Amino acid sequence: PPNEHVVVTQPMRPWWERYQPVSYKLHSRGGTEAEFKDMVTRCKNVGVRVYVDSVVNHMAGLGRQGSGSGGTSFNSDNFDFPGVPFRREHFNSRDKCPSHDGNINNYGDPNNVRNCFLVGLTDLDQSQEYVRTKIAEFYNHCIDVGVAGFRIDAAKHMWPGDIKAIQDKTKDLPEGGRPFFYHEVIDQNDGAIKVGEYTPLGYVTEFRYCQKIAEGIRNFGMLHGVYDPGWGMTDSAHAFVFVDNHDNQRGHGGGGNLITHKHPRDYKMAVAFTLAYNYGFTRVMSSYYFQSSDQGPPHNGDYSAKDVTINADGSCGNGWVCEHRWNPIGNMVAFRNAVAGTGVDNWRNENEEVSFSRGQKGFFAMAKSGHMDRTLHTGLPAGEYCELVSDCKKKITVDGSGNAHIVIDNSAEPVIAFIVGGPT
Ligand code: LM2
Ligand code: CA
């Protein structure tokens, strides 16, 4: 989240302080508005669009007061946030929340989930025109700075109709078109709120995919079922999918038995498969190393984040994991873009191996043992192809009938992929 937030010192500067807003000024522990704008502009100039993580369900938690990351005063117990400004009347009052202590404690009741306080965080009343306007002004300011879209944090804890009203107040991008919106809704078939309530508003996080891909990597035989509509998973046109996120990689936010960068080989296979397959809109995670679940990013003496340094081999230094630079992850983005809009064909899934083609545009294979040596039908035009994951160190020849000799060996990654129109 790029906006001003509380500064927590107990524990010392946890990552989650950024999820307790103080104002909508773009001044976070990540830097000032000028620094944020500079980053967004430099990204945009090289074709990388930025969306922001927007925390608008709530402001800071009860018991917190003082100065925010941008120096603005606030007092949560008095519901006083002069930097916006928000006052007591802009928050959900106790009569709208059916829980005995004001905190969310019953996921079976939408009024409880949406009108009560999430872990003590002061809950805004987005049904009010004033509150909607302040949030939309924040979004519009982000768009002025060059941002292209928004993650809506805690969307599950807001009424879809209120979110729609806020989105409708948000302007088009300067280059035309609507901003990108996706909604964070943790639906694991365990409560009253369903992802389907949010699909009319944009993409919706599909947390069940995290479980499904973890099962699929542990047992390749399960990979055919990573998208399981019978289990309530939303359709490909609305599902926002990822192998892990900033919460569940550290046991927060619906945690579980997931695959993360802590198991690099499994993680590479999980993300490579996700990018190769034809389900949903994909997000690639990029992390820092951590020991404890509260620990913030690698920091300098003043707790500002350390720079991401790049080592000679292309990996990152200073405590940053940079999963997005790992070949079976970063190089598979070209694959996903090249095969967009095609289906899955020539599916083969035996002996802890999986392979398939995407239309007549790409072919993907993965072997859990790290070893595979067989001739497969690729469905691709004849020719010599450069293998993407090895940076073209491997070449693959497709013959006139569309077959190719596919070799995966333990000296390299357990994944191969190639595309029509790829590098040569
Ligand atoms: C989210 N999605 O709905 C974020 O993805 C998640 O990271 C946020 O929780 C959460 N919603 C609220 O925006 C994180 C973190 C919590 C942390 C909150 C607020 O997972 O542990 O709660 O941010 O900073 C912390 C303390 C908690 C305390 C609360 C309020 O861990 O014990 O509750 O602050 O002071 C009394
Ligand atoms: Ca709420």
Its ipTM equals: 0.97
User: Is 61's C-beta closer than 6 angstroms to any atom of ligand 1?
Assistant: yes
Report pLDDT for 377. Answer: 98
Looking at the CA of residue 17, tell me the nearest atom of ligand 1. Answer: 24
Distance 16 CA to ligand 1 centre (A): 6
Q: Cα(270)–Cα(220) distance, rounded to whole angstroms?
A: 10
User: Is 154's C-beta closer than 6 angstroms to any atom of ligand 1?
Assistant: yes
Which listed ligand is nearest to 115 at the C-alpha?
2
Strands (DSSP E) along 5-114, which ranges? 51-54, 58-61, 65-67, 73-75
Which listed ligand is nearest to 123 at the C-alpha?
2
Distance 269 CA to ligand 1 centre (A): 30
What is the distance of C-alpha 36 from the center of its chain? 20
Report pLDDT for 424. Answer: 79
Q: Cα(260)–Cα(220) distance, rounded to whole angstroms?
A: 17
Distance 155 CA to ligand 2 centre (A): 8
Pocket test for ligand 1, best of 74, 117, 118, 119 (most atoms within 8 A of CB): 119
Pocket test for ligand 1, best of 5, 9, 16, 58 (most atoms within 8 A of CB): 16
Looking at the CA of residue 245, tell me the nearest atom of ligand 1. Answer: 5
Task: Name the helix (H) or strand (E) containing 418.
Answer: strand 415-419
- The answer to whether residues 245 and 303 touch, using CB atoms and an 8 Å cutoff, is no
Looking at the CA of residue 252, tell me the nearest atom of ligand 1. Answer: 20
User: Is 387's C-beta closer than 6 angstroms to any atom of ligand 1?
Assistant: no
Tokens linked to 273: 């498969």
Report pLDDT for 49. Answer: 97
Active site residues: 153, 184
Looking at the CA of residue 119, tell me the nearest atom of ligand 1. Answer: 33
Provide the residue-wise pLDDT of the chain in tens; the chain has 424 residues: 999 999 999 999 999 999 999 999 999 999 999 999 999 999 999 999 999 999 999 999 999 999 999 999 999 999 999 999 999 999 999 999 999 999 999 999 999 999 999 999 999 999 999 999 999 999 999 999 999 999 999 999 999 999 999 999 999 999 999 999 999 999 999 999 999 999 999 999 999 999 999 999 999 999 999 999 999 999 999 999 999 999 999 999 877 789 999 999 999 999 999 999 999 999 999 999 999 999 999 999 999 999 999 999 999 999 999 999 999 999 999 999 999 999 999 999 999 999 999 999 999 999 999 999 999 999 999 999 999 999 999 999 999 999 999 999 998 999 999 999 998 7
Looking at the CA of residue 8, tell me the nearest atom of ligand 1. Answer: 24
**Closest protein CA for atom 33 of ligand 1:** 119
Report pLDDT for 123. Answer: 98
Q: Count CA atoms closer than 13 A to 58's CA, side-chain side.
A: 28
- The answer to whether residues 25 and 70 touch, using CB atoms and an 8 Å cutoff, is yes
User: Is 19's C-beta closer than 6 angstroms to any atom of ligand 1?
Assistant: yes
Which listed ligand is nearest to 76 at the C-alpha?
1
Is 327 strand, coil or helix?
A: helix
Report pLDDT for 257. Answer: 83
Q: Cα(249)–Cα(177) distance, rounded to whole angstroms?
A: 33
User: Is 247's C-beta closer than 6 angstroms to any atom of ligand 1?
Assistant: yes
Report pLDDT for 294. Answer: 97
Single pTM value for the model: 0.97
User: Is 55's C-beta closer than 6 angstroms to any atom of ligand 1?
Assistant: yes
User: Is 193's C-beta closer than 6 angstroms to any atom of ligand 1?
Assistant: no
What is the distance of C-alpha 127 from the center of its chain? 27
Which listed ligand is nearest to 247 at the C-alpha?
1
**Closest protein CA for atom 2 of ligand 1:** 154
**Closest protein CA for atom 11 of ligand 1:** 154
